Structure 1
Amino acid sequence: MSANVDENFLRTQRVGHLATVDARGRPVVVPFCFVYDGKAFYSSLDEKAKKVSPEKLRRTQNIRVNPEVALVIDHYEEDWGKLKFVLIRGRARILYSGKEHGRAIELLREKYAQYRSMRLENRPVLKIVPWRIREWTAE
């Protein structure tokens, strides 16, 4: 990761956008809640209302076909002199259980109070290991 990236920004932002690509090259972008531990980004496929199971979500299917993903984490203000975004390109994996899965859930619950009452232990967690991170600020 670039030494110039503001890790505090990555750890404190509440929402990002995840881009995946299907087998035919069609992109899909979804908002997502995440945690960053300094090495990887984690996001739970949680209990919020979805029309299909986590396994059938388009992002899950796309990651199985093509694990290369992009994330955008941004800060917007009407004063465009305060704009900032980070573009992350990385490789995604789906975690179903194990020590890393459990640690990701702990971190997500620390950051998001809403997750404390959800049963996440049996839900998949997306892990994204960045291979490129670029930051842009208007300053």
Structure 2
Amino acid sequence: MTPEDRERFAAAPVARLATVRPDGRPHVVPIVFALVGNDVWTAVDGKPKTTRRLQRLRNIEAHPEVSLLVDHYERDWSRLWWVRLDGRATVRQLDDDDAEPGLRALVGKYERYQREPPPGPLVWIEAHSWRSWRG
């Protein structure tokens, strides 16, 4: 991954998290995230939900290997790009010792989290590989 690809990835406001359900079916959801070093953090936030036990959390517990995709589309296809991280996800609680850098990065990136920090849990994605493409 080039420094430019890393910068594009880190600056993106949203990514798509791909997980695998316990029964093997794919599951993709948009998420907010923060890049910390070579790893990514995301959180269960305060937006209305029917449960805090989200499908993505159950999926990660069953199959921790995940992919995270950030992309950009324009009519001018020479300006298209995407960056994908493949890694291993772990669910962390806010009071876990290693969760503070992730929470701090999320609060720093998203104004909404500065007013209303996410109640958690957090998801930590340890990057195994990065792939990218540009038009």
Q: Normalising to structure 1: TM-score of the pair? A: 0.89
Establish whether residue 127 from structure 1 lines up as the match of residue 124 from structure 2. Answer: yes
Deviation at 1:99, TM superposition (A): 3.4
Specify the code of the residue in structure 2 equivalent to 1:105.
L
Which residue in 1 is equivalent to 2:43? 44
Asked if 2 retains the 8 angstrom alpha-carbon contact of 1:89 and 1:130, the reply is: yes
Q: Using a 3 Å threshold, how does the CA distance of structure 1 residues 9 and 22 change in structure 2: closer, same or farther?
A: same
Q: Normalising to structure 2: TM-score of the pair? A: 0.92
Instruction: Please tell me the root mean square deviation across aligned C-alpha atoms, in Å.
Output: 1.5
Deviation at 1:4, TM superposition (A): 6.7
Q: Name the CA distance, whole Å, in 2 between partners of 1:119 and 1:112.
A: 9
Q: How many correspondences in the alignment? A: 134
Q: How does 1:106-121 map to 2 (within 5 A)?
A: 106-120=104-118
Establish whether residue 18 from structure 1 lines up as the match of residue 17 from structure 2. Answer: yes
| Uncovered stretches (5+) of structure 2, i.e. residues with no partner | none
Establish whether residue 60 from structure 1 lines up as the match of residue 57 from structure 2. Answer: yes
4+ residue runs over 3 A deviation: 2-5
Q: Name the CA distance, whole Å, in 2 between partners of 1:3 and 1:75.
A: 16
Specify the code of the residue in structure 2 equivalent to 1:103.
P
Q: Name the CA distance, whole Å, in 2 between partners of 1:8 and 1:38.
A: 12
- Structure 2 residue matching 1:24: 3-state secondary structure: coil
Q: Name the CA distance, whole Å, in 1 between partners of 2:4 and 2:40.
A: 15
- Name the % identity: 33
| Uncovered stretches (5+) of structure 1, i.e. residues with no partner | none
Establish whether residue 77 from structure 1 lines up as the match of residue 74 from structure 2. Answer: yes
Q: Name the CA distance, whole Å, in 2 between partners of 1:107 and 1:119.
A: 11
Establish whether residue 95 from structure 1 lines up as the match of residue 92 from structure 2. Answer: yes
